[in-house]
Structure 1
């Protein structure tokens, strides 16, 4: 599909859908964004706002992450207050190991990232203490990642969607998609609770519900929910100055196991609260908070920052991440149903990868040269079609 004026329907008003809508509306497409709820109220609102390169080894996801990291400052530039709205904070990250085996694995992983162009800077004990004075001294290795950043997820998504609306996009909320309308092997419309919506292209950007939505449209993809929880302290004096996590976080992200995986992730927000994460487990769409999961998160966090033991916890929350067995997003056209596109499966990296995904999807849909190699994200791969896992 080439040229402006194409009617594109984005199914999902989370941050990935908002990023796709923004790119396409700015390119001159007639964009309609459809969501069964309100913008950014589901998975996006329950994210931590990570914009990371530190947790990704060499490969296609890292290339998408590096593209996104380059694009975020460009997207937020311009009118006064945009960075404040998104709470953009390029504070950097620090990954630490607390065992000899963990140190060896962290140093190997960091070396592979440096070979791929990532800034991964070893820290000695003195430099680590200067960077994070409240961090435990029981550390066997530490690596700084100056490119890591953070946004406030709902604020960033609202900004992206606002750009799309100012460029002429239309937003329909409370508009659940019930099914698709196809003619001659091509999707031409969707049936919704508020009536039919027609278009030339339809983008499934429904996050953890992308698998369910794609099945309703007649071209199912194996995107499933993976549950995560976090704790939030009351506002504290300056205590944590970077995103700090233990080296086991990378393994938890990459694990395909369905049982509970917990690793320590500790970072501050602009409001002074401290976010404590993170967990991963398959629980379907069961949204109940489990006290034993929250306790495990707290124990892991206290190993890194023992001084948080007396900090009051203000709230706990959980959300669903869109999981694919091979741990890669699904971005591109569906070969089974002409006119259907996918932008989902980012698991816990969707906030950071959103703007890169929007650019890649728009370039592919409009026939432009893509900024990264799109083949690894294609729809017709075994993990996405449900042939493994």
Structure 2
């Protein structure tokens, strides 16, 4: 008797020279679905039973999977489900924002084991780099106290910060972190920690967090509309995070609301948290600003509601643009906005205008609420090195195939 639940998995390949890809496919299937038997894995990934058995034995030797209690269903043969070992790998995620930096440590299944945050000095990386390195060292030390083998199984450091990357701008442009952009951040972090370091923008990191433990879990096509100091869109296309040629895909906050005329306004100048801070005349660096905005939103403060009405009109246009270009299964409003604010903003964006996504029988709403947690970016950053080490990459298979064709 087969397991009646639907199993989500990417397809493996039985061609020679693809064992690394198949290993990643198996790990991803276990991460998305939980414990699965060898037969379940074979059906879901379209790999032969022998290939699945070989990979399971290899993963078990490497301490990445463990057999669970044998299950008997009906009159068929009993089956043994296999599950990921949470302590099979660890990673650290770092968020660098304009006024604060956060770091978290996670295990293979995305559980946050320890976290810490601290304020960043106003002079950028000149003294901020040491603050960041000290924060990473603290989280790393805390992790070693929690998991004795964490140092041996630490796969890397993921970093997330506001984009866009590689764009020239004025040093005093409040929307761009020019000093940090020009600083050799990756080399400094790699030299200071001895870890492999990857960088992505904060919207992409938040989308990664949604994909692992949030509203995008198990979806193949989703766009995460990130509401932070600025605005971005994390693109999950064909089950993979799409970053673009220069890591700037999804920088929708820079889209112009009115391309014609002398005054061209970018979306994030009117509908981001930074625009809310300006509207309320409060400093984003002040302590307790997150809680203060949450309280004002929960009380339907007239100033908050006025901003919501203006921002919702612009974000409604942004949702229409995303639906038209990417045709996602759903759009997820997420980021660092307090939940009372995000819920009121979500309600104000409705009703959405007609688009290619406006069709009967949709299994998911066109727009839904995701994470409203200031730690979600750091969590997504921590997932990046886990994904780099274990997630399937069909682009890599295509590159291997092109290389083989060239040799032939």
TM band (smaller chain): under 0.3
Q: Identify which of structures 1 and 2 has the higher relative contact order when contacts are C-alpha pairs closer than 8 Å and 6+ apart.
A: 1
Larger strand proportion of the pair: 1
